[in-house]
Each structure stands twice: as structure tokens, then as C-alpha cells.
């Protein structure tokens, strides 16, 4: 995890932030239908190349769509045996996972932070489960 020697404003202004974080959308363009050939092509052609090039140590998957794509196209599964249903973002939220194949990284699936999640998922639990996953990742020596 990032530790700051000065303020977060300095961290952003000296552009070190961009060495530590990278954000992208899993779908590179919008198409009709959740299982369209165009959507699959977007993932296979663009996201796979992007993740292979960047080679991230940890990917945050915000929401069921992002997590579903990482599960389907990158074989993301929990790093350790768990009783939670990995197909349900509300259950897998904060559980450290990993991918296999040409893109080998850890993944932290998280429920999307939209307002609709808060009535089902108290903010304290959201953060606590996210922190648990981050501690597990950090314990790996990252």
C-alpha cells in the first residue's frame, strides 16, 4: 500500500500517484446486449492487451459487471477456499482473488459505490471487508 511522506495534495501534484494507480473501464465501448459479440471482442482484444501491458499487482473490480468480466475472461477466483458465492458481488466483496493465464494478478472485487448499495451494505462493513482484502494482499509482500 502507498505510504505518504507528505500530504496527499503533494502526492497528486508531483504525479507519483500515476506510478501507483491506473484506472480503466472493463468495456472499451458500449454495445447493445450484455453478451454481445462486440462486448466479448472488446474484452478479448483491448482489455486483455491493456492488462498484459500494464501488468498490475492488484486490480480493483468495482461492481458486478467488472467482476463478472474478470471471472469470465480472466478466470478470476478466490485466492483461498471460501464459502461465499463468487458469482455474487455482494458476497465476494472484499475477498482477495486471483487470475490465471497470460494476465496473472490479484483482484479485489468490490460492490459498486453507487447510492443504491448503501441500503443493503452498511458503509462500515463495506470498508471493513475492503480493508481485510487489502491486508491479505499486503501480507503477500506487495
pLDDT over 60 (residue 2)? no
Instruction: Judge contact between 114 and 77, C-beta under 8 A.
Output: no
The predicted structure's pLDDT at residue 81: 92
Instruction: Judge contact between 111 and 118, C-beta under 8 A.
Output: no
The predicted structure's pLDDT at residue 102: 82
What pTM was estimated for this model as a whole?
0.80
Other beta carbons within 10 Å of 134 = 17
pLDDT over 90 (residue 3)? no
Task: Give the C-alpha separation, 52 to 40, whole Å.
Answer: 17
The 10s digit of each residue's pLDDT in 64-92 is: 888 998 998 899 999 999 999 999 999 99
Characterize 60-96 residue by residue with b for buried, 16 or more Cβ atoms within 10 angstroms of its Cβ, and e for exposed.
Answer: ebbbbebbbbbbebbebbbbeeeeeebeebeebbbbb
Amino acid at each position: 500500500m502507498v505510504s505518504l511522506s507528505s500530504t496527499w495534495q503533494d502526492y497528486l501534484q508531483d504525479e507519483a500517484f500515476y506510478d501507483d494507480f491506473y484506472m480503466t473501464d472493463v468495456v472499451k465501448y458500449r454495445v447493445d446486449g450484455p453478451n454481445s459479440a462486440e462486448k466479448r471482442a472488446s474484452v478479448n482484444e483491448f482489455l486483455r492487451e491493456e492488462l498484459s501491458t500494464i501488468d498490475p499487482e492488484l486490480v480493483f473490480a468495482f461492481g458486478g459487471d467488472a467482476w463478472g468480466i474478470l471471472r469470465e475472461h480472466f478466470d478470476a477466483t478466490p485466492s483461498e477456499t471460501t464459502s461465499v458465492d463468487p458469482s455474487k458481488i455482494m458476497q465476494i466483496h472484499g475477498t482477495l482473488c486471483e487470475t490465471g493465464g497470460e494476465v496473472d494478478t490479484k483482484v479485489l472485487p468490490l460492490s459498486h459505490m453507487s447510492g443504491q448499495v448503501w441500503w443493503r451494505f452498511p458503509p462500515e462493513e463495506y470498508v471493513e471487508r475492503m480493508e481485510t482484502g487489502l491486508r491479505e494482499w499486503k501480507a503477500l509482500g506487495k
